[in-house]
């Protein structure tokens, strides 16, 4: 996810005014800084950055959420799962970012109700790879539940 963000940031510099670039840069750097601190107070800010008009800022916010461990994080990750992260050379970034979000939910918050919502949502994804990941995770969860 982070590599995609850097590529998008490089493109922004070439197509916006200096003032707009600095404003965008401030917002993505804010998200990057919040990724470094696992603090529940950052969740509200990261949630608002998921609604940013700039794809690089949304990617930075999603990436930062992947580093959070607060029990409220999964709900925001489900929101992030529904966001559009733009395209690079006409190829959507969504499958890679959505897959990272889904993996984080399944591995870190397996028993959280938001994980079930995310798996349900991802099974209807436009991306076959995200659909496959959701189906595999759902199958594994079912097998684990049957074994207990």
- Summarised one tens digit per residue, pLDDT across range 54-85 is 998 999 999 999 999 999 999 999 999 999 99
DSSP H or E run through 15: helix 2-15
Read off the tokens for 71. Answer: 């029990």
Quick one: pLDDT band at residue 30, thresholds 50, 70, 90?
A: very high
The values of phi and psi at residue 93, to 5°, are: -85, -15
User: How much is the pTM?
Assistant: 0.84
């Amino acid at each position: 996810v982070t590599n995609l963000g850097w590529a998008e940031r490089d493109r922004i510099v070439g197509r916006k005014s200096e003032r707009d670039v600095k404003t965008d840069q401030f917002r993505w750097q804010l998200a990057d800084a919040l990724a470094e601190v696992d603090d529940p107070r950052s969740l509200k800010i990261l949630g608002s950055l998921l609604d940013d008009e700039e794809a690089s800022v949304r990617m930075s916010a999603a990436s930062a959420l992947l580093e959070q461990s607060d029990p409220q994080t999964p709900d925001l990750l489900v929101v992030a799962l529904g966001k559009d992260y733009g395209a690079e050379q006409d190829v959507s970034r969504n499958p890679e970012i959505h897959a990272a979000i889904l993996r984080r939910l399944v591995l870190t918050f397996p028993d959280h109700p938001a994980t079930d919502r995310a798996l349900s949502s991802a099974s209807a994804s436009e991306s076959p790879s995200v659909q496959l990941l959701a189906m595999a995770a759902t199958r594994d969860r079912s097998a684990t539940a049957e074994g207990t």
